[in-house]
Amino acid sequence: MQRSGLFLLIIGVLMIVGMALSFYGSQIITEDLVTEQSNLISGETFETIVELDPMISEYGVYVVQTTSFQENSIHIKIFDPFGSQIVSKTAESESFEDGFEISSGGEYRIAIENTGDEETVLFLAIGHLPDTGKLSVGIIGFYILIVGMIGIAGLVILAIKNRRKNRLS
């Protein structure tokens, strides 16, 4: 029984470390993103401006999430600091993510239009694409958490085998 207690302690520590790394990873990934939330009435356009610099990252990323999703109803356009349209997309699902190239530093404008029949709640995040170091923290935390869950499954199997062995003796 001491071995199973030690295994349980190790698995618990693994799961706590995994959860902490996953949480910390998600925090550092989103810390540089500009986030906005708005109620978007049918026919209305929501716009926001974000300062982007190609020296930080040559690529930008945006995420658009909506409630009451209707196909072909959310249109996304991004304009560079010179006013040229660099992205024109239609959201394909309730949660839509895509990237774009940051060609020059300055204010980038994103415009999101609701052409659907219903009002929708819009959540937007836009900014520089996080570097791989930041992304790897969250991924490592996730894998450690999975190892902890596999350990719990193994511990349950071991406990069942021990219980059967004790019943037979």
Q: Alpha carbon of 120 to those of 44, 96, 97, 128: distances in Å?
A: 10, 14, 18, 26
Question: Which residue positions in the chain have pLDDT lower than 50?
Answer: none
Six token digits for residue 115? 């052409």
- pLDDT, one tens digit per residue, over 93-120 is 888 899 999 999 999 999 999 888 888 8
- Mean pLDDT of all residues in the chain? 87
Query: What's residue 150's pLDDT?
Result: 92
What's the rounded Cα separation, in Å, for the pair 128 and 148? 33
- Residues paired with residue 122 on neighbouring β-strands, in sequence order: 38, 66
pTM (two decimals): 0.71
